[in-house]
């Protein structure tokens, strides 16, 4: 099927589009491995709300939620920690809802949505943030699983590092729709049974510890500001979980935006993650003799208390969270290298690469370095979220299609977005580097405030050219339904939904897909065409 369009500004007639009403089998075969990492997710590949919730539930299983609550309570006392946790639920929900909404409506990855925030430079920025965050968490959680096996079965810890690295690689080779949703459907009941089983086991074995709710801060001088604010600030280190939301929510159906916003990625999810799972973590840290309130200490205590059942529980939790960590790390590693050095390889290759990195760093035993790196990446993640929320709230950022993300129709740099993110990130990094008690409470809060104020102020001077490049011939406007008509790319000869397609000024304005439209020659020609077109229509 073909269609033809003539430029309203006298640029002539573009070649007819080669279209089809159904999905390209070759594209679907690629998606089974890559999950549309470099493309917009079409309607056929979207998950229903139940499957979406099961896939996202992998993030609930991180011992991060268990241990962070225990650490917060050990510093500021249980009641102050619970107040901070309640505030964290509200804030996480407030920023997650609009992000999951735009991800579902646009179907683009976090990295590609960042083009709307920062320009073309936004793709590698966002991808690198997620790669560092997810890889560090994968290393940390993989080490936890290795320690559980080593504690119960003995043997060389390095052997278990290797076993865990291979296992984590294998379970992540399929994408969300093909594999992760199915795996998590089996692991979810095991995780929940193990979590509540550990609580009951601890009460039976050690007796109910009635003073866990009233435990006070052992040393109020160890933190700055109110105890609840310090606890809230600790939870801001997990803001990368909100960033993860985008890469999962793009797989959700648009009609389920409200359900996913309130349940799957919203307040229901965070009530489970923070006060429920966190509350169990606080109790276990008070009731079970552990080697310090750390992930390794909690794992050792649970395995020693529950034996083989403890190993099964830890396995279920870590297998679940590793599916998310490894998937997001490999997905964004693929995006980062395809956009920076034009190295386009299958996500399976990058999954294996992440597995090798996982084994190498676990074997090096540098937990302290990984922990510090996670603190600094938290600054970068929070600054990104702050800019994104301002971007979504401002009418000045809108284009004809609400948010433009196609590489040939966004500028190289959005100066306002980049300045806001950089200002917030620099402020947070400088504060964290001081290592003071003040920075531990206020660094991430100040990061968010500075990034928000910086981008908000910049938008007062914003121009349309910050967000989009005007060019003739838009395939998305040339078809009857941009989400259900598939257009063939002249370069890769595969057909994608029209919403992501562009016209190639280097090849007689034939159609080109989002992945193929990232070459230097194409982008230079697109910028030159935009300058001419803007001058003519102004």
pLDDT of residue 290: 66
Sign of CA dihedral 421, 424, 430, 432: negative
- Mean pLDDT on 495-504: 96
- What share of the chain in percent tops pLDDT 70? 90
The residue among 293 and 84 whose pLDDT is bigger is 84
pLDDT of residue 335: 77
Digit-coded pLDDT (tens) for 506-534: 999 999 999 999 888 999 999 999 999 98
Q: Rounded mean pLDDT of the chain?
A: 85
Give pTM, 2 decimals. Answer: 0.85
pLDDT of residue 392: 93
- What share of the chain in percent tops pLDDT 90? 43
pLDDT of residue 511: 96
Digit-coded pLDDT (tens) for 342-351: 777 777 788 8
The three-state DSSP-derived secondary structure of 470-507 is CCCCCHHHHCCCCCCCEEECCCCCCEEEHHHCEEECCC
On the question of pLDDT at 462 being above 80, the answer is yes
On the question of pLDDT at 176 being above 50, the answer is no
Tell me the Cα Rg of the chain. Answer: 24
The residue among 28 and 221 whose pLDDT is bigger is 28
On the question of pLDDT at 455 being above 60, the answer is yes
pLDDT of residue 1: 42
At 503, is the pLDDT very low, low, confident or very high (cuts 50, 70, 90)? very high
pLDDT of residue 296: 65
Query: Going by C-beta distance under 8 Å and a sequence separation of 6 or more, which residues neighbour residue 164?
Result: 142, 145, 146, 149, 358, 362
The residue among 329 and 53 whose pLDDT is bigger is 53
pLDDT of residue 182: 59
On the question of pLDDT at 9 being above 50, the answer is no
Digit-coded pLDDT (tens) for 327-342: 778 877 887 787 776 7
pLDDT of residue 430: 95
35-466 placed in CATH 1.10.4160.10: yes
CB atoms within 10 A of CB 302: 27
**Rounded distance between C-alpha atoms, residue 418 and residue 405, angstroms:** 16
On the question of pLDDT at 295 being above 70, the answer is no
Cα distances (angstroms) measured from residue 325 to each of 192, 311, 375, 379? 20, 20, 17, 19
Cα distances (angstroms) measured from residue 293 to each of 69, 130, 240, 301? 10, 27, 22, 10
On the question of pLDDT at 229 being above 70, the answer is yes
On the question of pLDDT at 34 being above 80, the answer is no
- Mean pLDDT on 224-237: 93
Q: Alpha helix (H) ranges present in 341-414?
A: 347-364, 367-393
The residue among 113 and 62 whose pLDDT is bigger is 113
Digit-coded pLDDT (tens) for 465-491: 899 999 999 999 999 999 999 999 999
On the question of pLDDT at 415 being above 50, the answer is yes
Q: Please report, for the chain, the start and end positions of each structural domain, with discontinuous segments joined by +.
A: 2-23+470-537, 35-466
Phi then psi dihedrals of residue 471, to 5 deg: -145, 155
Q: What's the token pair of residue 19?
A: 């279209």
Which residues on neighbouring strands pair with residue 502, listed in sequence order? 512
pLDDT of residue 524: 92
On the question of pLDDT at 406 being above 70, the answer is yes
**Rounded distance between C-alpha atoms, residue 255 and residue 257, angstroms:** 6
The residue among 286 and 424 whose pLDDT is bigger is 424
At 302, is the pLDDT very low, low, confident or very high (cuts 50, 70, 90)? confident
| Contact of 162 with 150, CB cutoff 8 Å | no
On the question of pLDDT at 30 being above 70, the answer is yes
Three-state secondary-structure class, residue 95: helix
**Rounded distance between C-alpha atoms, residue 168 and residue 184, angstroms:** 13
pLDDT of residue 291: 61
**Rounded distance between C-alpha atoms, residue 111 and residue 247, angstroms:** 9
pLDDT of residue 7: 46
Digit-coded pLDDT (tens) for 55-77: 888 788 777 788 889 889 989 99
Q: What's the token pair of residue 529?
A: 């065409």
Digit-coded pLDDT (tens) for 85-110: 999 999 999 999 999 999 999 999 88
Interior CA angle at 206 toward 204 and 212, to 5°?
A: 105
DSSP state of 46: P
pLDDT of residue 366: 58
- Mean pLDDT on 171-177: 59
On the question of pLDDT at 457 being above 80, the answer is yes
pLDDT of residue 444: 94
pLDDT of residue 428: 95
Which residues on neighbouring strands pair with residue 511, listed in sequence order? 503
The residue among 156 and 18 whose pLDDT is bigger is 18
On the question of pLDDT at 452 being above 70, the answer is yes
At 271, is the pLDDT very low, low, confident or very high (cuts 50, 70, 90)? very high
Digit-coded pLDDT (tens) for 384-404: 999 999 999 998 887 777 789
Lowest mean pLDDT among 7-11, 138-142, 184-188, 514-518: 7-11
């Amino acid at each position: 099927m073909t269609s033809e369009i003539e430029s309203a500004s006298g640029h002539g007639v573009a070649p007819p589009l080669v279209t089809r009403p159904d999905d390209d089998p070759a594209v679907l075969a690629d998606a089974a491995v890559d999950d549309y990492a470099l493309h917009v997710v079409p309607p056929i590949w979207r998950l229903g709300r139940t499957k979406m919730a099961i896939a996202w539930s992998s993030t609930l299983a991180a011992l991060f939620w268990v241990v962070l609550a225990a650490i917060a309570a050990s510093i500021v006392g249980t009641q102050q920690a619970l107040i901070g946790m309640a505030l964290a639920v509200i804030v996480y929900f407030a920023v997650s809802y609009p992000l999951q909404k735009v991800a579902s409506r646009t179907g683009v990855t976090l990295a590609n949505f960042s083009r709307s925030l920062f320009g073309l430079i936004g793709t590698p920025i966002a991808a690198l943030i997620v790669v560092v965050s997810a890889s560090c968490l994968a290393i940390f959680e993989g080490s936890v699983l290795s320690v559980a096996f080593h504690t119960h079965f003995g043997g060389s810890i390095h052997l278990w590092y290797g076993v865990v690295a291979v296992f984590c690689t294998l379970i992540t080779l399929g994408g969300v729709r093909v594999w992760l949703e199915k795996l998590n459907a089996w692991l979810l009941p095991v995780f929940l049974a193990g979590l509540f089983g550990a609580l009951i086991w601890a009460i039976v074995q050690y007796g109910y510890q009635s003073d866990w709710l009233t435990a006070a801060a052992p040393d109020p001088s160890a933190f700055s500001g109110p105890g609840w604010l310090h606890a809230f600030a600790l939870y801001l280190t997990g803001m990368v979980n909100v960033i993860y939301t985008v890469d999962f929510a793009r797989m959700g159906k648009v009609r389920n935006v409200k359900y996913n916003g309130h349940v799957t990625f919203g307040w229901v999810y965070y009530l489970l993650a923070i006060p429920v799972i966190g509350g169990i973590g606080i109790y276990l840290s008070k009731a079970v003799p552990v080697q310090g309130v750390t992930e390794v200490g909690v794992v050792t205590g649970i395995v020693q208390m529950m034996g083989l059942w403890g190993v099964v529980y830890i396995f279920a939790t870590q297998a679940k969270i590793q599916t998310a960590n490894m998937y997001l790390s490999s997905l964004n590693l693929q995006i980062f290298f395809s956009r920076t050095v034009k190295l386009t390889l299958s996500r399976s290759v990058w999954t294996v690469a992440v597995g090798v990195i996982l084994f190498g760093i676990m074997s090096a035993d540098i937990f302290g370095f990984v922990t510090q790196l996670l603190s600094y990446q938290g600054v970068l993640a929070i600054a990104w979220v702050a800019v994104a929320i301002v971007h979504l709230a401002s009418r000045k950022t809108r284009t004809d299609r609400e948010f433009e993300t196609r590489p040939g129709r966004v500028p190289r740099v959005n100066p306002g977005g980049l300045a806001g993110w950089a200002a917030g990130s620099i402020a947070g990094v400088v504060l964290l580097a001081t290592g003071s008690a003040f920075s531990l409470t206020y660094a991430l809060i100040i990061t968010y405030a500075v990034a928000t104020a910086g981008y908000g102020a910049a938008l007062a001077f914003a121009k349309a050219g910050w967000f989009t490049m005007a060019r003739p011939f838009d395939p998305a406007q040339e078809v009857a339904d941009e989400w259900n008509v598939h257009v063939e790319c002249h370069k890769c000869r595969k057909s994608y939904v029209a919403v992501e397609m562009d016209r190639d000024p280097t090849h007689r304005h034939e159609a080109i897909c989002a992945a193929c439209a990232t070459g230097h020659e194409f982008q230079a020609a697109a910028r030159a065409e935009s300058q001419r077109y803007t001058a003519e229509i102004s």
